[in-house]
Amino acid sequence: MHVTKILSVLFLLLLGLLSACSKDESSSSAGAKSAPAEVSAGEEIYKKNCKVCHAQSINGAPIPGNKSMWEPRAQKGVDVLVQHASEGFGLMPPKGGNVDLTESELRQAIEYMIAQMQ
């Protein structure tokens, strides 16, 4: 009886130590985690600049999440797609009409759209 009591006290102590440790860990990394990571930069750029055509396939713009529309585009490689989005491609205006977008912003938006395929 005595031994089990001591053991359970030790067990509780151990639990206390463990939770103290994990608390430390979470508070030290809280800074990195607190950034609003729900919406990626690519998604943000897409919503502001690309969605107006791409969500509804205006003039045939490929819809994110539509595999048969995106697969043949994705096969060209992201570099080519970034170049096409930057210079314009068919009925796609250069940079979707926002000349302020950088190539890296275009890339992020394109990677976001491609990632919607699965």
Binding site for ligand HEC (CB under 6 A): 49-50, 52-54, 58-62, 73, 76, 81, 84-85, 89-93, 95-97, 101, 106, 109-110
Nearest approach in angstroms of CB 117 to ligand HEC is 13
Nearest approach in angstroms of CB 83 to ligand HEC is 8
Q: Which is nearer to ligand HEC, 43 or 109 (CB)?
A: 109
Buried b (16+ CB within 10 A) or exposed e, 70-106: beebbeeeeeebbebbbeeeeebeebbeeeebeeebb
Q: Which is nearer to ligand HEC, 8 or 104 (CB)?
A: 104
In angstroms, rounded to a whole number, what is the distance separating the alpha carbons of residues 40 and 63?
Answer: 18
Nearest approach in angstroms of CB 67 to ligand HEC is 14
Nearest approach in angstroms of CB 118 to ligand HEC is 18
In angstroms, rounded to a whole number, what is the distance separating the alpha carbons of residues 31 and 37?
Answer: 12
C-alpha pair distances (Å), 114 with each of 76, 85, 107? 12, 13, 10
Q: Which is nearer to ligand HEC, 21 or 72 (CB)?
A: 72
At 75 the three-state DSSP class reads coil
Q: Which is nearer to ligand HEC, 16 or 97 (CB)?
A: 97
